[in-house]
Amino acid sequence: MTEKFNDSEWRRKLTEAPMDKSFQKEWEKSCKALLNHMKHEYDELTRTGDRMRMKNAYKWLQGAMKDIDKVKGHAAQMGKYFGEQ
């Protein structure tokens, strides 16, 4: 027989190790630095006209920049939902 899911126990376990504020700041800072580097490479490919020669890299870079932008705020959201330290 399966165990009944205990919601209160699950929530207690999630907040046992609250999100560290310094980790949140470091995460966002690192994401911002990575995005700046990727933006520079993207602009360089656009400026030199290499985007046609390096079409796969150009498309990958566009997608990767969108993905990094999405996850930039995840650490702060986790802190909001599961508690901050």
- Is residue 4 included in any domain, yes or no? no
| 73: containing domain | 21-82
Q: Which of 29, 14, 26, 22 is nearest to 85 (CA)?
A: 22
- Is residue 5 included in any domain, yes or no? no
72 within 8 A of 29, measured Cβ to Cβ: no
Per-residue pLDDT of the chain (85 residues; tens, 9 = 90+): 567 777 777 666 665 666 678 888 899 999 999 999 999 988 888 888 776 778 888 888 899 999 999 999 888 888 887 776 5
Q: How many domains is the chain partitioned into structurally?
A: 1
- Is residue 72 included in any domain, yes or no? yes
Per-residue pLDDT at 49:
77
Per-residue pLDDT at 22:
86
pTM of the prediction? 0.67
